Structure 1
Amino acid sequence: MSSTPTAEPSVTQLLNSPSTLNGHDSTDLPQPPQDPATQPPDDAVSGDKRKREENDDVPNPSAAPPLWKTSLCSFFRREAKTCGHGSECRYAHGEAELRARPDNTWDPTSERAKKQKLEEKIEECMALDNVMMTEAVDDDGDGGSDAGGLDPELSKCLVHLPRNWKSEKLKEFLSEKAIEFKSAKKKKGMALGFVSFENAEQLQTAVKELEGISIGNKVMKVADVIPRSFEKRTKSILAPRIPGVGLDGENVDDSMLANGSGDGDGTTGRSARKVVTPLAHMSYDDQLEHKKSSLMQILKRLTRNTRKACPDGIPLPEWIVKSRELGGLPCSLDGILTSPVVKGYRNKCEFSVGYSLQGKVTVGFMLGNFRDGVTAVEEPFDCPNVSRISSKYASIFQEFLQHSSLPIWNRFKNIGFWRQLTVREGRRPGIATDSEHCEANIVEVMLIVQVSSSGFDDAQITSEYERLAQAFAAGAAASSPALPLTFLVIQDHQGISNAAPADAPLHTLSIPKAEGGSKKQAADSVVEPKIHDYINNLKFCISPTAFFQVNTPAAEKLYSLAGDWAQLGPDTLLFDVCCGTGTIGLTLAHRVGMVVGIEMNASAVSDARRNAEINDIKNCRFVCAKVIKALRTHADLRKLVYISCNPETLVANAIELCTPSPEKIDKNKNNRAWRNMGSAGLARHRAKSMPASEPFRPVKAMAVDIFPHTVHCELVMLLER
C-alpha cells in the first residue's frame, strides 16, 4: 500500500474473497447458508447496550410493525422482570407476547424455537437407516484386545456420540447403562462408535435401552453397520486382490447383499446427486428463490451483529436504523444473476477414491463426512454439475483401480496409495449457452492423481504409473468423440486429509501416443503442466493447484457486475485485494487507469504476472502482502466492491468495516473467549480494537449463481463511505 498515491481523483477498492488459501476448491465448496433458527436474535446484547436515545421513536403496538414483539427482551431473559421500557418495549416479555417473524421463524432463544429445533434433530436422526461405513474400524490406539472385525449380524453403530470420546469412554458409558456387550470401538474425532454383542438377545436389549436417549444436546441413534473386510495387518497391504473378494477371502458382494445393501437398496436415502447437488430436484427458478431467501437471512446477521458491536455512547449508524424499513436487511438485495450454463458447468472436479456401499472400488463423491461415519463413495454420473468428460475420466480411473496392485487409501488407518483424481478442463474462447456447447469448447484436460507413496516399492510404483498413463490414453482415444488429454500429473501427499498443501510435490507423467500406445514422450520434453481458459476473451494460464473460477461463463457476469458497481473510469486506481491469479483486475484493466493486485500467496502472484504478460496488459501491478486492516484505515478508499463465494465471510468482514470506531480502543485482553466464538463473534471482538477511522456503509447487494444445483452462490456487496 505504500506505493499507492495518497490522493487520487477516484479510488476504488475491489475485494475478492477466495474460498481457500491453498488454491483448492473441492466439490465440497465453502460452508452453506445457515438456518435462520440457529442465528442469534436481534436483541442478544449484554448490559445496557440496547438502550435507545430519548428521541428515538417507539413503535405503536396497535400499528404492529413486522418485527414488533418477534424477539424476547434481553433484560427480561436476564432478570425475569419487565425492563425500563415497560409496555412500550418493542421486544416480548414472555412466550405469551412473542410473535412469529415475517419469515415464519421464532426467536432462537425462545422455547418454541428450541422445541422445533429438537424435533428437527430427532427427525433427521431417525431418517438415518444405515451408517454408510465401507471401511472396517480397527484398534484406534486406546488399548484393548477386542480389535477384531465386526460381525454385521451382531453389531450396531451408535450415532451422535461426543467427538472427544475414545473406546474406553464408550465402554464406560455402556457399563453405566448396564449394557452387556462383546466389544466397543470409538475413534476420537468421529461422532459414532461400533459395538458388537455375544448374541441376538444382548443386541436387542441394547437397542431398546439406547435408542433415542440424549447425550448432551444430541439424540442417540442406533444404526446398522455396512462393514468391509480389510487386511488384518499393514504388511499384507500389498497382497494382490481378486475383484469381488476381500483380502481375507470373504466375498464382498455377498456380505453387502446380506446386510441389505445390494443394488437398488434405497434405505440410506443418500446419493451423490443429493449430497453434491442438493437442489437438483428443484426447477432452476425455485433454486434461485431458495438461495435468495437464504441470503436474506445471512445479510440480516450483518445488521444484528453490527448493532451489537456498536460502542457504548456512539449513535447507531443510519443504515442500521433504516434497516427496520427493509425487514432487517442492511441494504437492498437486488436479486440473483443466473448462470448461462446450468448443466456440466464445472471446469474442475475432485473425485475421491473409496468403496461403494456394495464394496466395489469406486471413484466419485463421498456420501457424507468421514467424522459422521460416512466413507461410502458413489459414481458421479447423476450429478448435473459434472461434465461428461470429467465423468468419463473418473470411470477410466475406476476401471484401472480394479486391477491395480497398489491399495486405495484407507481413511481409518491412514494408509494406502491411491487417494484422489482431479480433472481440470480448459476451454477455447466462445459464448456457452448450454451444456453441449460448453463441452464442445473443451480443448485441454489436465488430470491430477493424488497418491501417498510412503512405504511402497519404487519399482512397483513406476510400473503402476506406466499402466496408469496407458489406461488414460487408451480410454481417451476409445471414447466417442475422443477426449482431450493434455497433461497427467501425480501429486504426492502424505497428510490425513486429501486437501494437500500448495507445495505438495508434483510429478508429470509422459502420456503414450495414441497410435499403438508404446511410444512415449521423452522425459526431458515434458514442459511445465498448465492448461488455459478464457474470461471476457482474455487468456489465463492455469497450473495444477491454481485457483480459478469453476464456472467461467457465470464468472464473466460476476466480473462485469463488479466493474459496473465500482463506476470505473480512466482516472480510477483499482485495488484487487486477494487477487489470486489476477482474473478480476485483468478483466477490468481496460476500464481503469491502474490496477494494483494484492495477494498473500506468492505463487498466485507469479501466475497473475504471467497472465498479464500473456494478454499484453501493461497497467497492472501485483504484490504479495496482507491488507485487510488497511482497507478500513485508508481514508482515501471511498468505495469498496466485495465479492465472496462465502457469504458468511462477507458478513464477518463487513462487521469490521462498517462498525463505528470506539472512543477508547479495547486491547482485547480476554483472548480465551475467542475459542468459543463464531466468525461473526470474532469480527465483533476485532472491531473493538479497530483504530479510529470512518466506517463504510452497505449500499446494495446482488448474488451471482456460480454454482447451480447447490446451495452456494457468489455475493457481491457495494460499500461506501
Structure 2
Amino acid sequence: MKTETELNDLENITDDKTECTEKVESNPFAYLDRNDFTSEKFKLEVRNLPKYYGLVEFKKLINQQLKLNSAKVKTPTRNGKWLYVCFHSEEERSAALDILNGYKWKNAVLQASVAQAVPDPLVKKRNEQFGDDGPDPKKPKLSNDEAEQQMINNVTPLHNLSYDEQLIQKTNSIRNILLEYTKRLPKTNKDLLSWLKEKKEINNGLPCEMLEIQSLKEDADKCTGYRNKCEFTIGMDMENKEPVVGFRIGTYVQGKTCVAPIENVSNVPQRMKTAVKYFQNFVRDSGIPVFNPETYAGHWRQLTVRLSLKTEQLMLICVVHTETMEETAIESLKKSIVDYYTHGEGKECKVDSLFFQKAKKRIAGEGNSFPLELLHGQGYIVEEMKGLKFRISPESFFQVNTAAAEILLNSAKELASISSQTTVLDVCCGTGTIGLSLAKDCANVVGVEIQEEAVNMAKFNATENGITNAQFFCGKAEEIMNRHEFQNPENADDVVAVVDPPRAGLHNKAVLLLRRMKHLKRFVYLSCNPKAALQNFLTLAMAESKTKQGAPFVPVKAIPVDMFPQTPHCELIVYFERYNSNIDNKV
C-alpha cells in the first residue's frame, strides 16, 4: 500500500503523460528545435581528405592537435571520401569551420562546409507511408495480433521450419562463408595458392575440413525456451491502447516504435515470460507513461531479464528514463518496485537480484553505460556449466544458451588438442567460462577481458571453483597481450589461444599481436558472427610485411555450432595453425 506522499510523488511523474499522446509530428526536422542535444544540430562536412588516412588518426587531429572538441565524427560512406564532424554548439562549429576549411593535412587541403541535418528517420518513413499530414485514419492499420506475428517473424525467423531444416540452412550458410574466404584469400596472400588448391581438392572446394554442425537436436526440449538473457522494450501496443513489455515489431529507421507481447516467442523460457507479465502489470498500474523514442517523453524504457536455467535464479534490471524526473519521484518509484517484488503481486516471481538503472539521452564523451543500483537481493545470479558454478553480474558476458555453450566448449577443446602441458590464452574471456572450463585439462590459463566487472567475476569464479592455475587481466586485448604473461608464457612450446570476441570481431591490433607471438603455433577462434569475423580470418592469412609480422595462420578445421535455434544465427569455431611450406604446410 502506497503512502499519501508516495502517491503525490508518482502523480508528479505523470504530468508529462500528455506529451506522449499529442498530435503525431509530421515535420522530420522538428527534433532540432528541442532542448535535448543531438549531434545533427551543429555539423560540418569535410571533403578532399587524404587518399590514405585512418579515422582514429583524423579524430586525434581534430580533438588533440587542433583542440576543436568535437562531439562525434561520422563516416556516411564506406570508402571514407568525406565525413561529418559534429559539435556541441554553434560557436564550436563556427570556430572549427574557420580552422578546417583550407587546412593542409597529409598533403591534402581539406574542404569544410556547414552540413545539413538529416531528417528524423521515423517521421520521414511515416510521411512516406501516409503523406505529410500523418497517418490516414481511413487506411487500415495493423491489429495487435498482426503486429505480434510480425514481431515473432523478426525475432525468430525460422520458427516455422523443422529443426532439421534449420540445421541444413545454417550448414549451407557457414559453407558459403568459408567459400567466400576461399575466393578472397588469393588476393590476400599469393604464397598460399598451392596450399589452397590442395585443400580445395580435399575438402570439396573449402579451405579446410568442415565437420558436421553440432546442436541440441537429440534434446528437442532445449531447442526452445533456451535464452538465459533478454532485453525487453517497454512501449505502447500497435493500437496505442496500453503499455506492453516485449519486443519492437521493427526498427526506428523503419518507422516502427510499437511493442508486441512475447507470450508466443519460442526462444524465450516460460519463467522469463511470467516475470515479464508481472512487471508489465506493475507498469500499467503505475500510471507512469512509457518512454517515447521519438519525443523522449515518458519514463518506462526497458526490462532486462537474466535467468539461470540450472539454478532457476532470476535477475531483473529495470531501466527508467529519469532525465525529467525529480529525485523524490525517483526514490518513490524505486521503493514501489521493491515493495511490489517483496510484498506485492511480484513476490510470486521469486526475484533473486533486483536492479534499477537510470537512463538519459547519451551524449558523446559521456560513455555508453549508466550506473546500476541494487534494490533488493544479491548482486548476481549463479549458473552451472560443465560441473562449475559461475557468478553472473548484470553486465557480465555469458553465452545466452547455456546447454549449447557446453557443446561449444567441448568442440573447442577437441579442436585445440589441449593436454596437461598446454598453456591456454583466453582472449576476450568474459567471466572466464572458457578458460575455467579448460583449466582442469591444461597446465594454466591466462585470460584478458576489457570489462572490469567481468574480470573481477572471472577471478571470483576461479576461487569459488577451487581453480588455482588461472589468472585474468583487465584491458583491451591488443594492449594486455603485450604483457609478459602473454608474450612469455609458461610451457611456451605448447601454447594455444582461444579467442571469443564480440560480434564485430577481434580488433585488428589484437590479430596482428597474435601473429607476432612466435611461440603461438595454433589457436581456436569462436565467432557468433562469422561474416564479420571473415576479415579477421583474412588478416591472419596475409603475407608477412612490416606491419604483419610472423608467419600467417591458415584454417585446418571448422565446426558450426547451433547456439541460436529458431533464428538464422550460427556460431562458428575455426581451428588455425601456422603455415610453413617446408613442413607439410604447417608447424
TM-score normalised by length of structure 2: 0.68
Which of 491, 516, 521 is 1:633 aligned to?
516
Report what 2:568 is aligned to.
711
1:342 aligns with 2:192: no
Give the 3 Å change call, closer, same or farther, for CA 285–630 of structure 1 in structure 2: same
1:378 aligns with 2:269: no
Superposed CA RMSD: 3.3
The 5 Å alignment of 1:152-163 reads none
Superposed displacement of residue 690, structure 1: 1.5
Report what 1:121 is aligned to.
none
Report what 1:475 is aligned to.
345
Superposed displacement of residue 468, structure 1: 2.5
Which of 315, 330, 335 is 1:446 aligned to?
315
1:458 aligns with 2:327: yes
Give the 3 Å change call, closer, same or farther, for CA 190–496 of structure 1 in structure 2: farther
Give the Cα–Cα distance (whole angstroms) in 1 for the partners of residues 568 and 23 of structure 2.
Answer: 29
**Which amino acid counterpart does residue 377 of structure 1 have in structure 2?**
V
1:651 aligns with 2:534: yes
Give the Cα–Cα distance (whole angstroms) in 2 for the partners of residues 469 and 225 of structure 1.
Answer: 45
Give the Cα–Cα distance (whole angstroms) in 2 for the partners of residues 447 and 194 of structure 1.
Answer: 34
Give the 3 Å change call, closer, same or farther, for CA 144–344 of structure 1 in structure 2: closer
Report what 1:286 is aligned to.
165
Superposed displacement of residue 621, structure 1: 1.1
Report what 2:505 is aligned to.
none
Secondary structure of 2:400's counterpart equals coil
Q: What is the count of residue pairs matched by the alignment? A: 438
Report what 1:355 is aligned to.
236
Give the Cα–Cα distance (whole angstroms) in 2 for the partners of residues 142 and 272 of structure 1.
Answer: 29
Structure having the higher helix fraction is: 2
1:399 aligns with 2:257: no
The 5 Å alignment of 1:221-240 reads 222=129
Superposed displacement of residue 551, structure 1: 0.9
Which of 186, 191, 196 is 1:319 aligned to?
196
Superposed displacement of residue 504, structure 1: 1.6
Report what 1:40 is aligned to.
none
Which of 538, 543, 559 is 1:702 aligned to?
559
Identity over the aligned pairs, expressed in percent?
Answer: 32
Give the 3 Å change call, closer, same or farther, for CA 373–263 of structure 1 in structure 2: closer
Superposed displacement of residue 623, structure 1: 1.7
Which of 184, 187, 192 is 2:119 aligned to?
187
Q: Deviations over 1:361-408 (max 9, x none)?
A: 111001111111111210011111001111112222222222324321
Give the Cα–Cα distance (whole angstroms) in 1 for the partners of residues 263 and 132 of structure 2.
Answer: 26
Secondary structure of 1:336's counterpart equals coil
**Which amino acid counterpart does residue 537 of structure 2 have in structure 1?**
A
Larger radius of gyration: 1
Secondary structure of 2:431's counterpart equals coil
Which of 235, 241, 246 is 1:364 aligned to?
246
Give the Cα–Cα distance (whole angstroms) in 2 for the partners of residues 289 and 141 of structure 1.
Answer: 47
Secondary structure of 2:290's counterpart equals coil
1:598 aligns with 2:467: no
Which of 648, 661, 664 is 2:544 aligned to?
661
Superposed displacement of residue 302, structure 1: 1.5
**Which amino acid counterpart does residue 483 of structure 1 have in structure 2?**
C
Superposed displacement of residue 134, structure 1: 12
Equivalent residues of 1:272, 1:382 under 8 A apart: no
Give the Cα–Cα distance (whole angstroms) in 1 for the partners of residues 552 and 335 of structure 2.
Answer: 59
Give the Cα–Cα distance (whole angstroms) in 1 for the partners of residues 198 and 471 of structure 2.
Answer: 40
1:136 aligns with 2:24: yes
Secondary structure of 1:489's counterpart equals strand
Superposed displacement of residue 420, structure 1: 0.2
Which of 541, 556, 560 is 2:410 aligned to?
560
Give the 3 Å change call, closer, same or farther, for CA 144–570 of structure 1 in structure 2: closer
1:489 aligns with 2:365: no
Unaligned runs of 5+ in 1: 1-132, 146-161, 165-184, 196-220, 229-254, 429-440, 511-525, 666-688
**Which amino acid counterpart does residue 647 of structure 1 have in structure 2?**
P
Which of 175, 181, 187 is 1:308 aligned to?
187
Equivalent residues of 1:191, 1:372 under 8 A apart: no
Give the Cα–Cα distance (whole angstroms) in 2 for the partners of residues 134 and 561 of structure 1.
Answer: 55
Unaligned runs of 5+ in 2: 1-20, 34-75, 78-82, 84-116, 479-509, 579-587
Superposed displacement of residue 559, structure 1: 0.5
Q: Deviations over 1:155-212 (max 9, x none)?
A: xxxxxxx999xxxxxxxxxxxxxxxxxxxx98345594444xxxxxxxxxxxxxxxxx
**Which amino acid counterpart does residue 276 of structure 2 have in structure 1?**
A
Q: Deviations over 1:111-164 (max 9, x none)?
A: xxxxxxxxxxxxxxxxxxxxxx9993365546999xxxxxxxxxxxxxxxx999
Report what 1:579 is aligned to.
429
Equivalent residues of 1:393, 1:472 under 8 A apart: no
Equivalent residues of 2:562, 2:571 under 8 A apart: yes
Equivalent residues of 2:229, 2:304 under 8 A apart: yes
**Which amino acid counterpart does residue 285 of structure 2 have in structure 1?**
H
Give the Cα–Cα distance (whole angstroms) in 1 for the partners of residues 289 and 551 of structure 2.
Answer: 59
Report what 1:432 is aligned to.
none
Give the Cα–Cα distance (whole angstroms) in 1 for the partners of residues 289 and 453 of structure 2.
Answer: 33
Which of 207, 211, 223 is 1:330 aligned to?
207
Report what 1:261 is aligned to.
141
**Which amino acid counterpart does residue 660 of structure 1 have in structure 2?**
A
Equivalent residues of 1:575, 1:595 under 8 A apart: yes
Secondary structure of 1:470's counterpart equals helix
Which of 546, 550, 567 is 2:400 aligned to?
550
Give the Cα–Cα distance (whole angstroms) in 2 for the partners of residues 495 and 574 of structure 1.
Answer: 41
TM-score normalised by length of structure 1: 0.56
Report what 1:690 is aligned to.
548
Q: Deviations over 1:648-684 (max 9, x none)?
A: 232121111122224xx4xxxxxxxxxxxxxxxxxxx
Give the Cα–Cα distance (whole angstroms) in 2 for the partners of residues 543 and 416 of structure 1.
Answer: 28
Give the Cα–Cα distance (whole angstroms) in 1 for the partners of residues 386 and 429 of structure 2.
Answer: 17
